[in-house]
Each structure stands twice: as C-alpha cells, then as structure tokens.
Amino acid sequence: MGSTPAAILVACMLLISTASSSGAAPGGCPPSSIVVTQSGTGEWAHGQPVYAVAVRNTCGCAQSDVKVDCAGFDTTLAIDPAKLEVLPAGGGGGLCLVNGGAPLAQGRDVTFSYAWSKQFGFRPVSSTVAC
C-alpha cells in the first residue's frame, strides 16, 4: 500500500504536465486557433493596393470577443464595423474586434477588404471560448 500515494503523485504530475504543455487557453482554444489569411486582390482604391482578409476559427469550440493586434491600422476603404472594428486607444491599445464580438464558429470565415500601402499582420491576441 506504500506505492499508492506515489502512483497518485505520478499520475497527477503527468496530468499537470500534459495540461501545461498544450499551451491552450481555458476551453482548449489558444489564440493560434484563430487563423488570419490575407492576399492582394490586384485591385487599387484611392491609389492604394487592396487586400482581402479572412479570419477563421479552427478550433472545435465557438470563440467570441475575438481581438487581433491592429496597431497602426489604416485604410482608404470603409470596413463594416460588424466585421472589423478598431477599438478606442483607451480600451484597446492597437486592438481590433472581429465579427462585432459575436461568436465565430469553427470553419466560418469573417471576411473584409482594406486598402493601404502595406499589409497589416492582424495577429490574434485573445478570445472567449465557449464549449
């Protein structure tokens, strides 16, 4: 019976090690499960190249309140704020809200276009996971 506490300790350590090595946020969806792709369309607007952007949730759980880094973002095209909204500097600090904060289901894309002299990264920063 002396080995039972040791076996329990080893099992607990394995469980903690597995959970911490996954890098996943609570709910199992790290920011990297939001994938942003973009490409030049070949079109021009107001003298600037146009880029098409798709934001996709690759996690099995819906993710809401998706925020991406958009520091310095600008465009000569109007973007529907329900798709991408630049948050006020006081509350966002270079962040944009995707899909109006509404849940983004797995495999569903939110798309928009912008026109500027360079591409912006739109690196996923955070989300709220609902499983």
pLDDT tens, residue by residue, 8-33:
433 333 333 333 333 344 457 999 99
| 79, part of any domain | yes
Terminal CA-CA length for the chain: 40
**Gap between the Cα atoms of 22 and 34, Å rounded:** 16
3-class SS at 109?
strand
| 124, part of any domain | yes
Question: What is the residue range of 96's domain?
Answer: 28-130
pTM of the predicted structure, to 2 decimals? 0.76
| 1, part of any domain | no
**Gap between the Cα atoms of 54 and 40, Å rounded:** 12
| 23, part of any domain | no
| 42, part of any domain | yes
pLDDT above 70 covers what percent of the chain? 77
In this prediction, residue 42 carries a pLDDT of: 97
**Gap between the Cα atoms of 36 and 54, Å rounded:** 6
Is pLDDT above 90 for 60? yes
In this prediction, residue 8 carries a pLDDT of: 41
Over residues 28-53, the mean pLDDT reads: 95
Number of folded domains that form the chain = 1
DSSP 106: B
| 4, part of any domain | no
| 9, part of any domain | no
| 5, part of any domain | no
Supply the CATH number for residue 32's domain. 2.60.40
